[in-house]
Amino acid sequence: MYACSEGRQRAGWNADVVLHLGCDPYLPRAADSDRFRPTMHWLTLRRLQPTKLRSLQLLRNRCSSQKQLPILTLFTKDPCPLCDEAKEILEPYKQRFVLQQVDITRPENSAWYDRYKYDIPVFHLNGQFLMMHRVDVAVLEKSLARIEDENI
């Protein structure tokens, strides 16, 4: 990363979106003087596009102290009466996880179709197999409690 404005210009940086430390060539160096005080210029966000602002907000939210909810993935297809029943059973627990549904009949999910075509609904919790065919509330509660304990 370039520290001075000439380097930023060569690299194509937007001058309003750069954090740099003491790049003034006329400042004394630390070895030359005990008066060295690095100057710090903070990011200015007035010219960022709305999409970049949203990205920064999402990054801030991910890095904050808020706990991350586990992801419960439901492998399903349409129609699937057992999947509909499973979603109803999961309703009281929806504040404890993020439900991600994967339609196994879509072309991009063909690997999941080959694996689970006779077994839906299938559930994964944070990418690991959890249960299939029906919701086992005891298994779900135990797994969610374990993840919540790890996050504390």
Question: pLDDT (tens digit, 9 = 90+) per residue, 43-92?
Answer: 444 444 444 445 545 555 555 456 789 999 999 998 999 999 999 999 99
What are all long-range contacts of 11-16, with beta carbons under 8 Å and residues at least 24 apart?
14/47, 16/44, 16/46, 16/47
The verdict on 57 and 23 lying in the same domain is yes
pTM (2 d.p.):
0.56
Confidence of residue 1 (pLDDT cuts 50, 70, 90): very low
3-class secondary-structure state, position 100: strand
pLDDT tens-digit map of 111-139: 999 999 999 999 999 999 999 999 999 99
The verdict on 50 and 79 lying in the same domain is no
The chain-wide mean pLDDT, for the chain, equals: 74
The verdict on 57 and 116 lying in the same domain is no
Q: Which domain-ending residue is among 63, 80, 96?
A: 63
The verdict on 75 and 130 lying in the same domain is yes
Closest CA to 47 of 8, 20, 80, 18: 18
CA–CA dist 73, 144 (Å, integer): 13
Confidence of residue 27 (pLDDT cuts 50, 70, 90): very low
User: Residue 68's pLDDT is what?
Assistant: 87
The verdict on 37 and 76 lying in the same domain is no
Residue 150 makes CB contacts below 8 A (sequence gap 6+) with none
User: Residue 141's pLDDT is what?
Assistant: 95
Instruction: State how many domains the chain has.
Output: 2
* Amino acid of residue 49: Q
DSSP string covering 19-85, please?
Answer: -EE---TTSPPTTT-TT----EE----TT--HHHHHHHHHHHHHHSSPPPPPEEEEEE-SS-HHHHH
The verdict on 81 and 26 lying in the same domain is no
User: Residue 98's pLDDT is what?
Assistant: 95
Residue 89 belongs to domain spanning: 71-151
